[in-house]
Amino acid sequence: MGLIVMKFGGSSVANAERVRNVASIIIDSYKKGNDVVAVVSAQGDTTDDLIEKAAEINPKASKREMDSLLSAGEQMSSALLAMAIEAEGYPVVSLLGWQAGFKTDNVHGSARIKTVQPERLKNEIGKRNIVIVAGFQGLNSFDDITTLGRGGSDTSAVAIAAALHADRCQIYTDVEGVYTADPRKIGNAKKLAEITYDEMLELATLGAQVLNNRSVEMAKKYNVEVEVLSSLKRVPGTIVKEVAKMEKMLIRGVTKDTDVARISVIGVPNTPGIAFKLFAKLAAKNINVDIILQSVGRNDTKDITFTVAKANGELAVSIIKESFDLADESIICDTSVAKISVVGAGMETHPGTASKMFEALYEKDINIQMISTSEIKISVLIDIEQADKAVAAVHKAFFPED
Ligand code: ADP
Ligand code: ASP
Ligand code: MG
């Protein structure tokens, strides 16, 4: 018996039958004597549909109004889930983000949670109510609704688990846990019994959408043990925690990220301070730069290539045009690229990892455009058309079919 925070993603509540299924998971736990707070995402593709609706009316809608609109998806699903629990005769209350005490910063569209003021939640739990919370949303210092960025309900759940010192935080989704690659794409991807926060953070940041990366950051910060598991099949999932058993394997997963643009700046002066000038201007506009490659200077010039998120590609190009006296054709933005990564702690002590990955790509005739490494991952940038083939080849190299 204890306090359990559960989170159910969009596909877990996509239709009436799925909502009833989720209600039964919650009720089963409540009947065992647990207190349950369940965070819920918008049903199915609701968030995408709302984004499309907005674009029909005003493609340049303000982020404030977008947040007001998108938060409605979770308002609907939380009320519907509460109704399903009511129908079974159990005491339940649904709360929107602001009612559940979520205070965020003012960055509409990707707000960060500042605090969760837990009084109302505690009060409802004290009355033995099942509490359903609309995920993905909060209130900023102007009392305006904010949203936490795509996939943000995971973070809502971890934040509640931290604020209430919950005994468990369960993230229910449409797969059975965290796998060595996306199990929908790679048939023999293996489910991990455990994974560390740092490894999960890399997987999530590098494209494994099963957990939102901010939720993992928060879980690590507040030491919340998270279990990722299926809402459709009641089997053990994956535990995300500080120290995990290695299960013999060094590599934990292979990921694909297609939200990448590669920007090449050709022929900048080969003098000190150029990289500083370039990246300081990008940083001033909050543009995050990922992989950076600079050529060796020749004939008094050098080339700098780097990657940014797709949404920042155009802005980055216009900043460079303003900052350097270069012909338009010297600044190239290529959005047809993908980043493939292998993730696993302890890589620096296993020198064969990079060559194994590169060999797998070579065997499929896949050209590597850029490489970046750290002690926990190796990433390569390749043509987006070859991304799925690359993930399959690299996964097979590290996890041969058994
Ligand atoms: P939810 O709606 O429950 O938040 P998401 O769609 O955000 O679910 O995340 C679950 C999906 O993440 C899975 O359906 C799966 O296709 C995808 N995924 C990508 N990489 C992985 C991985 N390494 N392990 C598990 N799932 C993954
Ligand atoms: N409904 C939001 C989204 O689609 C939040 C979430 O699913 O976590 O991104
Ligand atoms: Mg998600």
d(CA 379, CA 124): 46
> Does residue 158 form part of some domain?
yes
> Does residue 145 form part of some domain?
yes
| Ligand 1 mean position, distance from CA 178 (Å) | 8
Q: Is the pLDDT of residue 236 over 90?
A: yes
Average pLDDT, the chain: 95
| Ligand 3 mean position, distance from CA 11 (Å) | 9
342 close to 253: Cβ distance less than 8 angstroms: yes
226 close to 167: Cβ distance less than 8 angstroms: no
Q: Is the pLDDT of residue 246 over 80?
A: no
> Does residue 52 form part of some domain?
yes
Mean pLDDT along residues 270-278: 91
CB 372 less than 6 A from any atom of ligand 1 = no
User: Which pLDDT belongs to residue 298?
Assistant: 78
Q: Is the pLDDT of residue 247 over 70?
A: no
Same domain for 156 and 265: no
User: Which pLDDT belongs to residue 161?
Assistant: 98
Mean pLDDT along residues 301-315: 94
Q: In Å, how far are 64, 67, 235 from 60, measured between CA atoms? A: 11, 13, 45
| Ligand 1 mean position, distance from CA 120 (Å) | 31
Lowest pLDDT segment from 24-38, 99-113, 293-307: 293-307
Same domain for 15 and 163: yes
> Does residue 51 form part of some domain?
yes
User: Which pLDDT belongs to residue 325?
Assistant: 86
What does the angle CA 313 – CA 315 – CA 317 come to, to the nearest 5 degrees? 70
pLDDT category, 402, cuts 50, 70, 90?
low
Helix (H/G/I), strand (E/B), else coil: 362: helix
Same domain for 12 and 112: yes
Helix (H/G/I), strand (E/B), else coil: 92: strand
CB 47 less than 6 A from any atom of ligand 2 = yes
Pocket-testing residue among 210, 211, 252, 395, ligand 1, by greatest number of atoms within 8 A of Cβ: 210
Same domain for 19 and 168: yes
Q: Is the pLDDT of residue 205 over 80?
A: yes
CB atoms within 10 A of CB 196: 20
Pocket-testing residue among 7, 41, 96, ligand 2, by greatest number of atoms within 8 A of Cβ: 41
| Ligand 3 mean position, distance from CA 184 (Å) | 15
CB 136 less than 6 A from any atom of ligand 2 = yes
11 vs 402, higher pLDDT: 11
In the chain, % of residues over pLDDT 90: 89
**Ligand nearest to the Cα of 210, by number:** 1
| Ligand 3 mean position, distance from CA 150 (Å) | 8
Same domain for 165 and 63: yes
Mean pLDDT along residues 12-37: 98
Helix (H/G/I), strand (E/B), else coil: 377: strand
CB 156 less than 6 A from any atom of ligand 2 = no
Range of the domain at 306: 261-334
CB 10 less than 6 A from any atom of ligand 1 = yes
- Nearest by Cα to 252 from 158, 341, 356, 169: 341
Same domain for 139 and 38: yes
Helix (H/G/I), strand (E/B), else coil: 309: coil
Same domain for 9 and 147: yes
CB 178 less than 6 A from any atom of ligand 1 = yes
Q: In Å, how far are 113, 156, 158, 161, 239 from 164, measured between CA atoms? A: 15, 12, 10, 5, 20
Mean pLDDT along residues 372-380: 93
CB 209 less than 6 A from any atom of ligand 1 = yes
pLDDT category, 319, cuts 50, 70, 90?
very high
Beta partners for 132? Answer: 38, 94
Q: Is the pLDDT of residue 194 over 80?
A: yes
Pocket-testing residue among 209, 238, 399, ligand 1, by greatest number of atoms within 8 A of Cβ: 209
CATH of the domain at 17: 3.40.1160.10
Mean pLDDT along residues 122-131: 98
Tokens of 166: 């919950």
59 vs 348, higher pLDDT: 59
CB 8 less than 6 A from any atom of ligand 2 = no
Same domain for 144 and 37: yes
> Does residue 13 form part of some domain?
yes
Q: Is the pLDDT of residue 68 over 80?
A: yes
Boundary residue ending a domain (153, 174, 195): 174
d(CA 331, CA 262): 10
| Ligand 2 mean position, distance from CA 73 (Å) | 9
Domain count, the chain: 2
User: Which pLDDT belongs to residue 250?
Assistant: 83
CB atoms within 10 A of CB 112: 17
| Ligand 1 mean position, distance from CA 177 (Å) | 8
| Ligand 2 mean position, distance from CA 370 (Å) | 31
> Does residue 96 form part of some domain?
yes
pLDDT category, 1, cuts 50, 70, 90?
confident
Q: Whose CA is nearest to atom 7 of ligand 2?
A: 151
pLDDT category, 26, cuts 50, 70, 90?
very high
User: Which pLDDT belongs to residue 120?
Assistant: 98
Same domain for 123 and 266: no
Same domain for 287 and 147: no
41 close to 9: Cβ distance less than 8 angstroms: yes
Q: In Å, how far are 294, 310, 333, 335, 382 from 314, measured between CA atoms? A: 21, 8, 8, 10, 20
CB atoms within 10 A of CB 368: 15
CATH of the domain at 284: 3.30.70.260
d(CA 79, CA 141): 26
| Ligand 1 mean position, distance from CA 170 (Å) | 15
Beta partners for 5? Answer: 37, 169
Boundary residue ending a domain (334, 353, 372): 334
Q: What type of residue sits at position 221?
A: K
DSSP string, 246-300: -TT-S--EEEEE---EEEEEEEEESSTTHHHHHHHHHHHTT-----EEEPPPBTT
Q: Which atom of ligand 2 is nearest to the CA of 154?
A: 8
> Does residue 196 form part of some domain?
no
Boundary residue ending a domain (334, 369, 397): 334
Same domain for 283 and 167: no
Tokens of 279: 């990246």
Q: Which atom of ligand 2 is nearest to the CA of 149?
A: 9
Helix (H/G/I), strand (E/B), else coil: 210: coil
Helix (H/G/I), strand (E/B), else coil: 8: strand
Alpha helices by DSSP H, 134-189: 153-163
Mean pLDDT along residues 205-215: 96
> Does residue 223 form part of some domain?
no
pLDDT category, 371, cuts 50, 70, 90?
very high
15 close to 34: Cβ distance less than 8 angstroms: no
DSSP 140: -
Q: Is the pLDDT of residue 227 over 80?
A: yes
